[in-house]
Structure 1
Amino acid sequence: MPTDPLFYLAVIPAVLIMGIAKGGMGGGLGVVAVPLMSLVMPPTQAAALLLPILCVMDLFALWGFRGLYDWNNLKTLLPAALLGILIGTLSFRYLEEAHIKLMVGLIAVVFTLNWLIKRLHGRVQPAKPARAWLGRIFGAVSGFTSFSVHAGGPPLDMYLLPQKLHKSVFVGTTVIFFTVVNYVKLIPYAWLGLFDTRNLTTSLGLMVLAPLGIWMGIFMHRRISEGWFYALCYSLLLVSGVKLSMDGMTALLS
């Protein structure tokens, strides 16, 4: 285990934030985890260190939201996500993560600002039906960005939020989606040599934070109204979009 205090000042909050996001407070929040950890380590190492912890968190989140999911969305999204993971694996050596962050970030910002403008003008947007072709696109993008920088939340949110699912069904659907995605990602991560003994040992030591983060997310989820939940999700989507855009732009200009 690392002994540098700065390491833990960055990593412990990042792990807890990811747990809170998975525990019911919107997947967009978790996008800050890898950038935060990247303050003390390379982004690829941060992603590899975080993945085993995410897999443990997924098990706790599955229990917390058991029986709450939308199967029609999942059967559209999951096959597309697997394709996105495959594309991410094959292009890993060629694509810069800055381009991925900038692309996802800008889309998330435009999407959220469109929602905000309509809200400010008093136009209540009706729930939009799930469209299979759109679900395949966002599912593939989510799988791809999740593989690359653990930033699959914003693309998935952009597809699910307009449907206005019950907040627990929304979270339960995302939990199952990312459980499948994260466990599948273990295979290409190992194949690409992203795991090493030190990373795995550190991940094992930090896993004690997994149930705490999930519990914090579930606790907050159960105490927030439906309206505030969706407002918070859109807000977090905007923040994560701005963060990703800034990270991508900064890397490209440096």
Structure 2
Amino acid sequence: MLLDPAFFAAMVPAVILMGLSKGGFSGLGLLSLPLMAQVVSPITAAAIMLPVLMSQDVVTVWSYRRDFDRRTLATLLPGAVIGIVAGYLLAARVADGAVVLAIGLISVVFALRNLVSGGKAELPPTLPNYPQGTFWGALAGFTSMIAHAGGPPYQIYTMPLRLAPSVFVGTGALFFAMINVIKVVPYIALGQFTTQNLTASLALLPVAIVSTLAGVWLVRKVPVKRFYRIIYSLLLLVGLKLTYDGLNGLHWLG
């Protein structure tokens, strides 16, 4: 695997995209697994990526250690734990395509609603809401466990809060760092942390760290309004891709 040029040709761009996503440009990371799946199976790709993600979590959590919203985390985490457990228990019974399709359609509608307004009729920031936070947190945990697509539910709940970009990213960094730690147990149970997979993860760590630091640097340079417009645009693109993947997963498209 490690001596295969095709492996690195797919894995290095995938890790760079994930690093930029972890650094603050949420959504790019969802493009990583399809790239990796060109050279390894999806479950192997996810297993290789998990240690890489956790190394990137260390960078982002440290970089934004003073920039996070405790109340937002408190509204999301209980639901996320429930979602992860449900995803693990129901993984064999739930159609991945249905989950991905639903998240894709929700993401497209949400992103379009905000992009079409162009900021002309921008709504005032919402306040953290425990019922909504529990729902979207559970959906983020569930889709992260089932389809590695926890980002859109997190964004849909947190973007209307209109947090400062650094706080938005820092809160997400802590949230997904905790989710990834919890996900270690199912991956161990699946026997995916093999010597070969862990060696591949280790080889990709330098790229992971540098790309994450680049994402952190870019977030701090982009103005607030432009930052949110970029995030909404990325969410729209990711939503369209998830919708397409979901339709394929349900075998609706030949």
| TM-score interval (norm. to shorter) | over 0.9
Matches of 1:214 and 1:11, distance apart in 2: 15
* Per-residue deviation, residues 200-226 of structure 1 (Å, max 9, x unmatched): 221121112221111110121111100
Q: Does 1:197 align with 2:195?
A: yes
Q: TM-score, normalised by structure 1?
A: 0.95
Report the Cα offset of residue 71 of structure 1: 0.3
Q: Quick one: which amino acid aligns to residue 126 of structure 1? A: P
Q: Quick one: which amino acid aligns to residue 107 of structure 2? A: A
8 Å Cα contact 2:73/2:175 also seen in 1: yes
- Alignment: residue pair count: 252
Report the Cα offset of residue 130 of structure 1: 1.6
Matches of 2:165 and 2:45, distance apart in 1: 30
Aligned residues: percent identity?
42
Report the Cα offset of residue 4 of structure 1: 2.3
Matches of 1:209 and 1:150, distance apart in 2: 21
* Structure 2: segments with no counterpart, 5+ residues: none
Matches of 2:203 and 2:97, distance apart in 1: 30
Moved over 6 A (4+): none
* Per-residue deviation, residues 38-73 of structure 1 (Å, max 9, x unmatched): 122221211111011101110011111111100001
8 Å Cα contact 1:14/1:33 also seen in 2: yes
Q: Quick one: which amino acid aligns to residue 179 of structure 1? A: A
Matches of 2:205 and 2:147, distance apart in 1: 20
- Aligned pairs for 1:50-199 within 5 A: 50-119=49-118, 122-199=120-197
Matches of 2:190 and 2:101, distance apart in 1: 24
Matches of 2:198 and 2:96, distance apart in 1: 23
Partner of 2:67, secondary structure, is: coil
8 Å Cα contact 1:60/1:211 also seen in 2: yes
8 Å Cα contact 1:30/1:151 also seen in 2: no
Partner of 1:157, secondary structure, is: helix
Match of 2:244 in 1: 246
8 Å Cα contact 1:102/1:247 also seen in 2: yes
Partner of 1:3, secondary structure, is: coil
8 Å Cα contact 1:14/1:32 also seen in 2: yes
Matches of 2:234 and 2:195, distance apart in 1: 34
Q: Give me the CA root mean square deviation.
A: 1.4
Q: Quick one: which amino acid aligns to residue 100 of structure 1? A: V
Pick closer, same or farther for the CA change 1:95–1:194 going to 2, 3 Å: farther
Matches of 1:218 and 1:70, distance apart in 2: 18
Matches of 1:58 and 1:192, distance apart in 2: 22
Match of 2:44 in 1: 45
Q: Which of 220-229 and 197-206 deviates more?
A: 197-206
Report the Cα offset of residue 92 of structure 1: 1.8
Q: Quick one: which amino acid aligns to residue 230 of structure 1? A: Y
Matches of 1:38 and 1:18, distance apart in 2: 14
Matches of 1:39 and 1:165, distance apart in 2: 37
Partner of 1:69, secondary structure, is: coil
Matches of 1:10 and 1:68, distance apart in 2: 33
Q: TM-score, normalised by structure 2?
A: 0.95
Matches of 2:2 and 2:73, distance apart in 1: 39
